[in-house]
Each structure stands twice: as structure tokens, then as C-alpha cells.
């Protein structure tokens, strides 16, 4: 059932190359910075970190906290995010030395390791597992819940969506990555808090739209 929505979105968006980053370290850093803030604010911090050659977990682990706070100020909650960044960088480096060493390992070991890092909630954990480490999990966020409720015309529990998509997509990392990216994109462009259904390219299949356009 979720494939059909994927295909509709894919016809319009194609490969969005999601997550927008140049390295796995940058992805992890972005996953922490994007908590409770918009991507445009995160992007400013990422640009500053890039200019200062800091998109690297080993360097994040070593950098002075005040300096890091200054670099990531635009992402908001910068004191706490600085702590979270240093925390995740130290945990990964101390235990695995680099992200590469966390790939192709026992999934439950890596999942429970990330889950236990302070500052990492479910959404951040799943984003890191999928986008930085290539494990076949689906990322659910508030955009996903809102879109699915409208499109399918019923309330879903996050876990039902997660399990359903993971089963249907059967380990296809590209689809899992792209699906979340396309959902975010659609939610920003059309399926906003106040949806712009008349312009939306999937309105002919959407229960919410059909119910409201009669």
C-alpha cells in the first residue's frame, strides 16, 4: 500500500539524493542540529562548520565548547546541541573510532548503542541509522504522520507506518531514504499545516482532498 504513494511522489520528485550532505560525519552532525529547528537554520551552521573544516566527528570531539557554540548558533538551542554533538562524537570515536566501522554490523548492537547516546531520540537515531550508516529503517517525523493521516484518511501509529514501510520496501535503502526525503519535500511545498490541495500533484488520490472537495 505504501509503494503506491512512493511511486506517485517519485514520478514528480525522482531521486532527491536525501540526506543533503557530503559525508557520513556531516550527516550525523546535521541530524543533531536539525532537532527542533528548520533546515534553513541548520544549513547556516553547516556552512560555517564547513568553512572552519569542522564537519568531522574527531574534530568536533576536540574543539573548545564555546567555539562550537558560536559556530552552531543559528541552529538554536546551541548550548545543549553543542553538548549533544560532543557527546555523540566522543561516543562514536571512543567505541568505534569512525562511522565506517559501525556499518554492516549486527543491527541490534548498533541500534542500542546509538539509542543510549544522550541527546539522541527515536527520529535522530533512525536518521543516523539510515542516512549515515545505511541500515534499512524508515524515518518517521511529524510530516509523515500528518501526510499519511490526510492521504490515507486514517490515523496511524508511528510504529505501524515504520514496520509497514520497512516490510514493503524489503531492505531497499535507496527507497527508504528517498521516501522520507520526498515526504519532507511534499510537506514543505503542499501538505503544509494549512494544505495547498488545489496545487498538490497527488490530490486525485488523497482522501482528505476528496472529502473536502465535494
Nearer to ligand SF4, 82 or 203 (CB): 203
Vertex 166 angle, CA 163 and 167, to 5° = 85
DSSP assignment, residue 18?
Answer: S
User: Among 4, 203, 211, 214, which residue sits at the site for ligand SF4 (rule: CB under 6 A)?
Assistant: 203
Q: Is 191 in the site for ligand SF4 (CB under 6 A)?
A: yes
> CB under 6 A: which stretch of 3-11, 33-41, 48-56, 188-196 binds ligand SF4?
188-196
Coil, strand, or helix at residue 12?
helix
140 contacts 123 by C-beta, under 8 angstroms: yes
Which residue among 103, 206, 211, 214 contacts ligand SF4 (CB under 6 A)?
Answer: 206
E strands, the chain, in order:
none
Among 81, 86, 150, 175, interactor with ligand SF4 by CB under 6 A = 150
Segment lying near ligand SF4 (by CB under 6 A), choices 51-59, 159-167, 170-178, 190-198: 190-198
Residue 29 binding ligand SF4, by CB under 6 A: no
Q: Using alpha carbons only, what angle is made at residue 138 by residues 133 and 144, rounded to the nearest 5 degrees?
A: 135
| 208 makes contact with ligand SF4 (CB under 6 A) | yes
**Please, what's the b/e burial string for 49-65 (b: 16 or more CB within 10 A of its CB; e: otherwise)?**
beeeebbbbeebbebee
Residues 130-149 vs ligand SF4: string with x where CB under 6 A? -----------------x--
Amino acid at each position: 500500500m505504501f509503494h503506491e504513494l512512493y511511486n506517485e511522489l517519485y514520478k514528480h520528485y525522482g531521486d532527491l539524493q536525501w540526506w543533503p550532505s557530503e559525508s557520513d560525519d556531516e550527516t550525523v552532525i546535521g541530524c543533531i542540529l536539525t532537532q527542533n529547528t528548520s533546515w534553513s537554520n541548520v544549513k547556516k551552521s553547516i556552512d560555517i562548520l564547513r568553512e572552519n573544516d569542522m564537519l568531522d566527528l574527531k574534530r568536533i570531539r576536540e574543539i573548545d565548547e564555546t567555539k562550537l557554540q558560536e559556530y552552531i548558533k543559528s541552529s538554536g538551542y546551541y548550548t545543549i546541541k553543542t553538548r549533544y554533538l560532543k557527546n555523540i562524537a566522543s561516543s562514536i570515536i571512543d567505541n568505534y573510532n569512525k562511522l565506517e566501522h559501525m556499518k554492516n554490523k549486527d543491527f541490534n548492537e548498533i541500534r542500542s548503542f546509538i539509542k543510549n547516546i544522550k541527546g539522541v531520540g527515536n527520529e535522530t537515531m533512525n536518521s543516523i541509522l539510515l542516512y549515515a550508516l545505511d541500515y534499512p529503517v524508515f524515518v518517521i517525523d511529524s510530516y509523515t504522520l500528518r501526510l499519511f493521516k490526510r492521504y490515507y484518511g486514517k490515523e496511524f501509529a508511528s510504529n505501524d507506518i515504520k514496520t509497514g514501510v520497512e516490510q514493503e520496501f524489503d531492505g531497499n535503502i535507496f527507497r527508504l531514504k528517498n521516501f522520507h526525503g520526498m515526504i519532507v519535500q511534499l510537506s514543505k511545498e503542499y501538505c503544509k499545516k494549512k494544505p495547498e490541495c488545489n496545487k498538490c500533484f497527488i490530490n486525485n488520490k488523497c482522501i482528505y482532498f476528496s472529502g473536502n472537495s465535494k
